[in-house]
Structures are given as C-alpha cells and as structure tokens.
Structure 1
Amino acid sequence: MAKLASMVVFVILVISMLSATILASKTRNHNGGSGYGPGSLNPTQCLPQCTRRCSQTQYHKPCMFFCQKCCKKCLCVPPGFYGNKGVCPCYNNWKTKEGGPKCP
C-alpha cells in the first residue's frame, strides 16, 4: 500500500512539473521573451525588438525603418545586433529588387 501511495505522489509530481514546463515555454515564445523564430512576436513588439537590433549601427534610421517593415511582415526579429537571420527564414529570405537582403 505504501508503494502505491508513493507511486501516485511521484506521478502527480511529474505531471505538475511537465505542465509547468510546457506553460512556461508557451508563455516565453508568444510573449516575446527569449523565443525567436517565425511568428514569435506580436506587431506591438516590433519597435522594441528593432530598437535592440539596430542599437549598434551607424545607420540607425534606415535600419529601424526596414527592421520594422520586416518585423511586421514576418513577426520575427533575429537575436543579436547582426547576423543570426537563419532563425527567421522570412526575415532572411526577403530580398530587394537587386537581390540584396531587405531586412537588417
């Protein structure tokens, strides 16, 4: 009987830990936390993410303009100040008429 009771307590503990982990990962990805990738942002989160992305460039205004345009289309801004575009395929693959990258 004691084994059964301890097993039930163990199963309840495992289930509660799993549900907390799943809930935390969903909250992080949909509320703009550390989650990156397509659709990980809301349109209202584009300005702060682009401010972060463009903070270290000497071309701040054009970077902000194109970053926000790309963010609103892709709902994603790559991590860091430069590169890492593979995390956001839409952001990475949007090109100018000349074939260059549209998104900073």
Structure 2
Amino acid sequence: MKIFLGTLVVFALLLAACFTEPALAEDSLNCGGKCSKRCSKAGISGRCLKYCGICCAKCKCVPSGTYGNKHECPCYRDMVSSKGKPKCP
C-alpha cells in the first residue's frame, strides 16, 4: 500500500510539472515579444530589452507603445533602481 501511495504522489508531481512548464515558457515568449516592441526605438536596445524582460517577468505586463503609457501597468511603473530612478524602460 505504501509503494502504491508513493508512486501515486510521484506521478501527480510529474503530471503537475508537465502542465506548469509550458505556461512558464509561454509567459517568457510573451515578454520577449512585448519587450521587443517596447524597445524598438531605444538607443541602447540591449539594455532596454534586459530591463524590460526583468520588469515583465516580475510584473507580468508591459505598457503598450515604445514610450510612456506606464499607467497601464502600475507595478512596471513603480519599480525603481537602487538609486531611486525608474528601472523599467
């Protein structure tokens, strides 16, 4: 009985992992596309993409357009660096 219960728990964990992994990959792809659009006119696009990706992963949103519109995503708007400046492009 203990072996059956242990096997059942392991199977349930593996099944949960199968459903969780694609959802995380989909979120990161969405962040990549949204950040590419957001940073398309940035002078230093590599830095913009890096920080936009960090902000998107944490906030789960990216404001529309290439500049401004931060009111659409308060978490994105309110993130600041250690120097107190806006972190998200």
Same fold (TM over 0.5): yes
Structure having the higher Rg: 1
Alignment correspondent of 2:68: 83
Q: Match for residue 31 of structure 2? A: 46
For these two proteins, the number of residue pairs brought into alignment is: 64
1:97 equivalent in alignment to 2:82? yes
Gaps of 5+ in 1: 1-40
Q: Tell me the C-alpha RMSD between the 2 structures.
A: 1.3
**Which residue among 62, 83, 88 is the counterpart of 2:47?**
62
Deviation at 1:42, TM superposition (A): 2.8
| 1:72 is aligned to 2:72 | no
SS in 2 for 1:42: helix
Q: Where has structure 1 moved over 4 Å in runs of 4 or more?
A: none
Amino acid corresponding to residue 74 of structure 1 in structure 2: C
- Identical-residue share of aligned pairs (%): 44
TM-score, normalization by structure 2: 0.68
SS for the counterpart of 2:48 is helix
Write the distance in 1 (CA, Å) between the matches of 2:70 and 2:54.
15
In 2, the alpha carbon distance for the partners of 1:73 and 1:42 equals: 11
Q: Bigger CA drift: 74-83 or 41-50?
A: 41-50
How far off its partner does 1:57 sit?
Answer: 1.0
